[in-house]
Amino acid sequence: MKVNHMLVAAALTAFVMAPAAFADSGKGKGGTGGTVTPGTSGVADTRLVAKLRPVTSQDSLFEGHVVLRTSGGGRGEFESRVEVPQTLLGPDPDNLQPILMLSNGIPCTMVFDEIEPVSGVVEYKVSIRSRNGVIVNRAGFCGAVGASPTIPVVNLNDRATVDIGGDTLQGFFAAKR
């Protein structure tokens, strides 16, 4: 019976003491909140998001977003998706390559991704990833044609704009957790 009491005491101690120990590990109140990459001293992770909203078209299906994520561990990702109602496009939407323009003048060429059969929305995207200094264009590309792949540098409040046949989406980068 004494062994059972010791096991119960040990189990309760583990459930009570372990959370208290982790609360002081820098992830809780007054800590970093997960913004510093483990293993790196003070190198912050960044996540900037621009929600693209229509400037000229009032169609609620015409929207998009741009996301930049970087981490101190040598990883980075730049991704943008745009959804366009098929009615705003011609009969051959997969041949269209919209250009995402950033405030710093860097153009990003988006490529056709898919047509959602239920909503009739056409999706275009650009996706670039970096790991340990190796940059890979997963879909589309940013920068001059023929140049080396790059993840564009964007800052807080920078503008992102996509023009598709006279219909424009625009958004501004904001910090996101």
Q: State pLDDT tens for residues 45-96.
A: 889 999 999 987 777 788 999 999 988 778 899 999 999 988 888 778 888 8
Burial of residue 175 (CB within 10 Å: 0-12, 13-18, 19+) is exposed
- Pairing type for strands 134-139 and 159-164 reads unpaired
Going 25 to 27 to 29 to 35, the CA torsion angle's sign is positive
Mean pLDDT of 84-109: 87
171 CB neighbour count, 10 Å cutoff: 21
Q: Which fold has domain 46-175?
A: Immunoglobulin-like (2.60.40)
pLDDT band at 43 (very low <50, low <70, confident <90, very high): low
pLDDT band at 149 (very low <50, low <70, confident <90, very high): confident
pTM above 0.75, yes or no: no
Position with higher pLDDT, 93 vs 158:
158
